[in-house]
Structure 1
């Protein structure tokens, strides 16, 4: 965890095999989010699948090692109508989740509509609206480019805002489990 209480460093990923948006942002008190880094990992479409996946994995691992996120937030793969694109994205997600797992990082998945609703209040917001909100929320002088980079930042923001709720839910579940275990021990003693 970062220095301030409740802070979380999130690596936001917009997965893709040709272009994969990568970002890192620190979430703090309230809805404050500070961008740390943003970029895009690219792989050549004419390279063999195994080479592309290795390049993508290496890029994500380099970011994880350099920026030391507490958690990874990623767009959930969904049916876009093109099975080939979905399969390529699913391959990318697999190596990205594996890279996070190797470092003991939790991975949280969000659908595009969840991210859009979190940032704009509208689950059907278009790319232009999303980029404008990312720019405004982060106080950037200009919109992040390309769109994959802006999407990665949007995913990181979404998780930064949801992290406190998720943390409270986890703490509540742990407290309930502890009570259940103690109640079980008490009943065994009787």
Structure 2
């Protein structure tokens, strides 16, 4: 395998939008679940129909958010935790594989992750739903990755936490494996069988 193509959420960082719920509730006048009220805007954000600034502005109006735009953005950002075991894989694999990303994400989260999480500096590029205007498991986003980075799917190991995405990637010719942070050793066994090579191997 020449390239390691990784999803972000629940592969490199865990995420929980539920962490934002009580913070939004405490600072908003709207009733009901704030995440449900923001769901359509979130979809538009992650598919690139609106950018981060437009999302924040519309989200503040939707919730009756009483603090600043910076506060709203910070709440939306602070949902991540590092997955240390996969960070160790990346730090080893950078010596043996080209590292790329393929993720359903927004400009807000991508910018936050690259700014505040050092692991992302080791990736040479990525395909993101907000800039590609399509979301996994749409096969189009995998074709965009192939075209943008001249990938040979059979020489690329794709890792994702969702089985549907793994299935579509495999259908596009990638060596593809599902990642479960609770079963990291099992992932390593399967990934090595598919061609992952780390310096210790």
TM-score (norm 1): 0.31
TM-score by length of 2: 0.30
